């Protein structure tokens, strides 16, 4: 099927975001490798990669979420940190931050776990990563994480505590960690993780940050493969446009794996999400194919 000029332009714009995100993961992986070897690295390269994602993600936030939902590969830790930054960027769209403050917040999300990386997340060959990162913690804090909490103090009623940034980043960080396979455990379904975040809100997690995260992404974030109540399969392409967080917008799959037109499940009592399933097609096709 031939594409119209508008469809070709949209596809190329989506591909630019994919390339920018891959670039971010690559630069993050290089930074981790250098830190593991206690070699110097330039934070400006990481900032430039994050800036590229920020610029290309305008009006394509749901594709960015889908990129963050992809299974981890060999650069597992770099993918994890990049995904948390991607989810955080999408949240900032709801906060009306300036572009500079948004990039600063995303940079904080990129490095938020570096001084306390769980051993099971250390990529193969990165022996000594924890000690190397601890040695670099002061530099990372000074050069990358400064003033992000100041920007949040007026953007969200989290608190005036310097940990305001961490409180915003915590829900996407937990979501990414649990929805990916862990040591001796399968991934947890996204809807189950969203409900868990709701249970932790006001206790271990900030209620406002959790509400913002769940409301923005929905129970089944973009990029999630789901089974519908009629037995058909679909790829989630956007969260609900109303308060029904469990009924997103999807592109159904036919028996041959072809993608149908986008439709909204919200307000449709005859069709709803039954459960999340393992992907049968690459979910990125929902954005790269008309």
pLDDT digits (tens, 9 = 90+) for 203-212: 888 888 899 9
Evaluate the CA torsion angle 56, 57, 60, 63 in order and state its sign: positive
Owning domain of residue 102: 5-157
Angle between helices 76-92 and 61-68 (to 10 degrees): 150
pLDDT higher at 12 or 131: 12
Average pLDDT, integer, range 100-122: 69
CA 161 and chain centroid, separation = 25
Mean pLDDT rounded to a whole number for the chain:
81
**Angle at the Cα of 270 from the Cα atoms of 267 and 272, rounded to 5 degrees:** 70
DSSP letters, 27-61, are HHHHHHHHHHTT----HHHHHHHHHHHHHHTTT-H
Average pLDDT, integer, range 55-60: 96
Say if 180 falls within a structural domain. no
- Total domain count, the chain: 2
Say if 108 falls within a structural domain. yes
pLDDT 10s digits, 227-251: 999 999 999 999 988 778 889 999 9
Average pLDDT, integer, range 46-55: 95
Using the 3D structure, point to which of 128, 157, 186 is the last residue of a domain: 157
Say if 263 falls within a structural domain. yes
Average pLDDT, integer, range 87-97: 88
pLDDT(111) > 60: yes
Average pLDDT, integer, range 48-54: 96
Say if 126 falls within a structural domain. yes
Separation CA 272–CA 74 (nearest Å): 35
Say if 203 falls within a structural domain. no
Separation CA 169–CA 206 (nearest Å): 10
Say if 138 falls within a structural domain. yes
Say if 25 falls within a structural domain. yes
Using the 3D structure, point to which of 157, 175, 206 is the last residue of a domain: 157
Residues 10 and 97 in one domain: yes
pLDDT higher at 199 or 101: 199
CB of 240 closer than 8 Å to CB of 220: no
**pLDDT the model gives residue 114:** 65
Residues 13 and 153 in one domain: yes
Residues 151 and 230 in one domain: no
| CB neighbours of residue 42 within 10 Å | 13
Say if 220 falls within a structural domain. no
pLDDT higher at 287 or 135: 287
Separation CA 164–CA 174 (nearest Å): 16
Average pLDDT, integer, range 278-290: 91
Average pLDDT, integer, range 124-130: 35
**Angle at the Cα of 92 from the Cα atoms of 164 and 214, rounded to 5 degrees:** 85
CB of 272 closer than 8 Å to CB of 228: yes
Separation CA 284–CA 290 (nearest Å): 12
Contacts of 236 (CB under 8 A, 6+ apart): 218, 220, 221, 222, 223, 224, 225, 226, 248, 249, 250
């Amino acid at each position: 099927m031939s594409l119209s000029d508008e469809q070709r332009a949209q596809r190329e714009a989506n591909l630019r975001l994919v390339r920018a995100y891959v670039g971010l993961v690559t630069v993050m992986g290089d930074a981790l490798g250098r830190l593991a070897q206690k070699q110097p690295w330039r934070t400006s390269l990481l900032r430039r990669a994050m800036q590229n994602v920020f610029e290309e993600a305008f009006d394509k936030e749901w594709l960015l979420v889908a990129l963050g939902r992809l299974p981890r590969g060999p650069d597992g830790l770099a993918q994890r940190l990049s995904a948390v930054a991607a989810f955080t960027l999408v949240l900032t769209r709801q906060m009306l931050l300036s572009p500079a403050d948004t990039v600063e917040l995303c940079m904080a999300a990129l490095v938020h776990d570096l001084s306390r990386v769980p051993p099971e997340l250390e990529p193969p060959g990165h022996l000594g990563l924890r000690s190397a990162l601890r040695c670099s913690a002061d530099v990372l804090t000074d050069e990358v994480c400064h003033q992000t909490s100041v920007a949040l103090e007026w953007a969200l009623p989290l608190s005036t505590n310097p940990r305001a940034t961490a409180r915003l980043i915590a829900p996407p960080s937990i979501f990414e960690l649990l929805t990916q396979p862990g040591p001796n455990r399968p991934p947890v379904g996204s809807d189950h993780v969203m409900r868990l975040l709701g249970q932790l809100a006001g206790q271990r997690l900030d209620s406002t940050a959790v509400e913002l995260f769940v409301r923005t992404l929905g129970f089944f974030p973009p990029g999630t493969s789901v089974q519908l109540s009629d037995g058909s399969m679909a790829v989630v392409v956007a969260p609900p446009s109303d308060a029904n967080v469990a009924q997103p917008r999807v592109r159904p799959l036919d028996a041959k794996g072809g993608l149908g037109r986008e439709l909204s499940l919200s307000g449709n009592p005859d069709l709803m999400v039954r459960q999340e399933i393992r992907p049968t097609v690459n979910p990125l096709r929902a954005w790269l194919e008309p």
